[in-house]
Every structure is written in C-alpha cells, then in structure tokens.
Amino acid sequence: MALSIGIVGLPNVGKSTLFNALTRAQNADAANYPFCTIEPNKAVVPVPDARLYQLAEIVNPKKIEPAVIEFFDIAGLVKGASKGEGLGNKFLGNIRQTSVIVHVVRCFEDENVVHVDGAPDPARDVEVIETELVLADLEQLERKIERLEKQIKFDKKLQHTLDLGLKLRDFLNQGRPVSGFPENDSDLFRDFVKEMCFITSKKVIFAANVDEDGLVGDNKYVNVLEDIARQRGSDVVRICAKIEEEMVDMSDQDRNEILESMGVHECGLEKVIHKSYDSLGLMSYFTAGPKEVRAWTIQKGWTAPQAAGVIHTDFERGFIRAEVIPYDTYIECKGESGAKAAGKLEVKGKNYVMNDGDVVHFLFNV
C-alpha cells in the first residue's frame, strides 16, 4: 500500500522548490513568479529507512526494495480558484486520490521573493487555501446530489445516501471541512467519503517554509501556523525549501553534517514522511532473503494475514502461519539462523498483530 501525498498552497510559496527537495528530482519548475507550475508534477520516492540497510549487511541480498511514496505538486491555488481563477483548480483531481495533504505556508520575509498577496500572513494564507478546497468539495458534492435526485426515482434505497449528501452540503456551506462533519461514525459516511475522495476529508500536515534563520528558535509566522494547526488537530514541520533543494545532489553524509550544523536532525523528506506515517497510523515490516530485503507499509493493528495480503492476495487467502523475528532481535542474532539457534524465532497464527520492524516469513497454501 503505497502512501501518496499531495502538495498544496498559494502560488510562489515554495511548493515546487519543496517538491524538488523532497523528491530530490529537478523536474518541477521553480521560479520567482506566481503560477510557475502549470502542470501537475508527480514523483515516486523511496522511504528512507536505515533498518533496511542494516538488514542487508547481514543478508547480503541481490537488491534492496524500500517502501515508496508518491508526491503530487499542483499549481498554486488563489482566492476564487473554485470559480476558475488561477490554474490550480484544474489539477485538484490529481490530489483527490492522495492520502495526506501537505499544505505549504510561507513563513519568512524577503522583498526579493514575490508573494501573491503582497506579504506573508499565515492565517490569511491558510484560510484562502482551506476555503478553496471546501468550495471544490462542495462543487463536486452538488453534482453528486443532482445525480442522486435523479437516480432515487428508480432506486429508493439511495434515500439515505441523498440525506447524508444534503446534510454534508449544509455543513460545507458553512465553510467547514468534511473532516469536521459530526455524523462521521457510520459505514454509510465512510463509504460515501471513500467514493467521493473529498479533499477536505484528508489528514493535513502544514509545512512552514522558513528561511535559514527560521529552522530553529522563535518565528512569529511559525507560531501563528502552529496555533492554527493545534485548532485543526494537525502537525507542523519546519522546512527551508531553498536549503533542502541546494542539498539535493549532496551525499547523505554531507547533507546530515549541514543539517546538524543548523541544529536540525532530519531532512524535510524524513520529517514529512514521519508525520504522514504517524497521522495515518502506518508502520513498516520487512522480508529478508538472498533475493531481496524489502520494506512493506501496513496499518498499525493489522494482523499477520492482512500484512501478508500486501505482498499478494494469495498470501492472505491461503495464510498458514508467520515466522516472526523482531528487528532488534534479528540484528542482535545476526540473522534468521542465529535467531533460530537462540530460540527467538516466533511462530504466529492468524490472530497475531504485527509490530513495527517485524522481519517476517509467511507460509501459505492456495
């Protein structure tokens, strides 16, 4: 289950620069004027996980396969985007299928970098984007309601769905996101949201794009953004997109040395991934053998058969048992043979709940 992240924000707040930095791929134009990005950018990025390489040192596989994340960067949204202003509204469909929204907010002053509204103001800038996303969802919902009103003449079972749609429309008309809808604890609501792919139903991470001096310490713009995030139950990560982009071609060692000299211990990609995994309740387990060492992304709380199904549906359908070694034990025992010899390889059945970092061998029969 690949994680997908959509990047949104006003024009010229550093979205494309951040995209280049996060994906380490210079395929998104970044320039000092609004609407530089006119087509959606997409990149598939490996998830950094040092544990993979520790396992590989023991197993010596032919290849290493990390988990991956898809990033989508769309044109900047402006006030009135839902009515056709700007370019970003044309590409909202590209982020409807994503799991998480990273909302980039400019949190630095620089008279040489144009701001679409004159100067940074996180509260105003966030409100503009959130309003346009709500209006985009509302427009989509209106079309769905029109279809339901026609279909219900022939299928009365759709009445409950229509009633839900009408209630949700009233809620969105108040400028509130789908994620805040109070009647959200029903299968009908969950199925409806899944079908509609509402943008405002998704988890949001705010990326405070700061200058070099703003990476640590007090920053009035970041303070405002953190207050906004707390009200919404969201997280904030500080990122200097310009510095991150400048480090794209550096080695991991050089990049880490620069970040540590600034008092920062994670690059922007790692910050965003960790927050995304936490917000969605995701974790990784590993398979390790001579052909490959591989990371697999699953939901926390999944059982062994569900985890096996990520590899192949046959693994879940014909699940027999799982041979499990915790990551730390695997490293300590220097591999599967050592763990077996120490009596630390555990055989688990269908009810076993997976732990982050489990090294697993599944047995199945179809």
Q: Which residues participate in the annotated binding site for ATP?
A: 12-17
Q: Is the dihedral of CA 64, 69, 72, 77 positive or negative?
A: negative
Q: Would you give the distance in Å from CA 74 to the centre of its chain? A: 15
Residues 19 and 15: their CA atoms lie apart, in Å, by 6
Q: Which of 128, 100, 123 is nearest to 7 (CA)?
A: 100
Annotated binding site: 12-17
Residues 294 and 284: their CA atoms lie apart, in Å, by 10
Residues 340 and 245: their CA atoms lie apart, in Å, by 45
Q: Is the dihedral of CA 128, 130, 133, 138 positive or negative?
A: negative
Q: Would you give the distance in Å from CA 350 to the centre of its chain? A: 29
Residues 284 and 105: their CA atoms lie apart, in Å, by 30
Residues 176 and 167: their CA atoms lie apart, in Å, by 12
Q: What would the DSSP string read from start to end of 25-75?
A: ---S---SSTT---S-EEEEEEPP-HHHHHHHHHH--SEEE--EEEEEE-P
SS3 content of the chain, % helix, strand, coil (to 5): 45, 20, 35
3-state secondary structure of 212: helix
Residues 159 and 8: their CA atoms lie apart, in Å, by 35
Cβ atoms of residues 102 and 95 within 8 Å: no
User: Integer distance in angstroms from the first to the last C-alpha of the chain?
Assistant: 22
